[in-house]
Amino acid sequence: MSRRSIHLDDFSHENPVPAASRIDGLVATGAVHGGGKGSAPEEFPPDFGEQAARMFDRIAAILAAAGGSLDDALKFSVRLSAPEHRDELNRQWCALFPDPDSRPARQVNIGTTRPHILVQCEVLAVVTGNGGRDA
């Protein structure tokens, strides 16, 4: 059993941590947002929907880099900057996971780490193969 760091070229943390880490089939991300590389305010779109779409795309890219796909996601822990963003989050969630019998668990909290970060999440996934729908 050995741990492997997962990195993306277009995303990084300001601190010395990878985008995600994998041990065997278990993949855990750090905080993932819908801005640019790092957390500079000018690299974040002002629109919640665009930040959420970028965040979900980034999660898909992280899971692909780990050898999996969104089909392997077990739980999303999502933080919204404001409760009124929940409807748009749910719209994108249902588009991404249309089968109500095959959706990851999800927990939503209010409050992000920076005012310009409108949405961010952490994901726990179990990757059992070398990809799924996004591979």
**Domains located in the chain, CATH noted:** 3-126 (3.30.1330.40)
Mind listing the pLDDT tens digit for each residue in 17-45?
A: 899 999 999 999 999 999 988 888 999 99
Residue 82: which of 46, 109, 55, 64 has the closest Cα?
109
Residue 64 — very low, low, confident or very high, per pLDDT cuts 50/70/90?
Answer: very high
Please state, as a whole number, how many other Cβ atoms lie within 10 Å of the Cβ of residue 16: 6
Mind listing the pLDDT tens digit for each residue in 78-91?
A: 999 999 999 999 99
Q: What is the 3-state secondary structure (H, E, C) of 24-70?
A: CCEEEECCEECCCCCCCHHHCCCCHHHHHHHHHHHHHHHHHHCCCCH
pLDDT(135) > 60 = no
**How much helix, strand and coil, in percent to the nearest 5, is found in the chain?**
30, 30, 45
pLDDT(131) > 50 = no
Give me the phi and psi of 40, to 5 degrees please: -65, 130
Residue 130 — very low, low, confident or very high, per pLDDT cuts 50/70/90?
Answer: low
Dist CA 126 CA 129 (whole Å): 9
Percent of the chain with pLDDT over 90: 81
Mind listing the pLDDT tens digit for each residue in 92-108?
A: 999 999 999 999 999 99
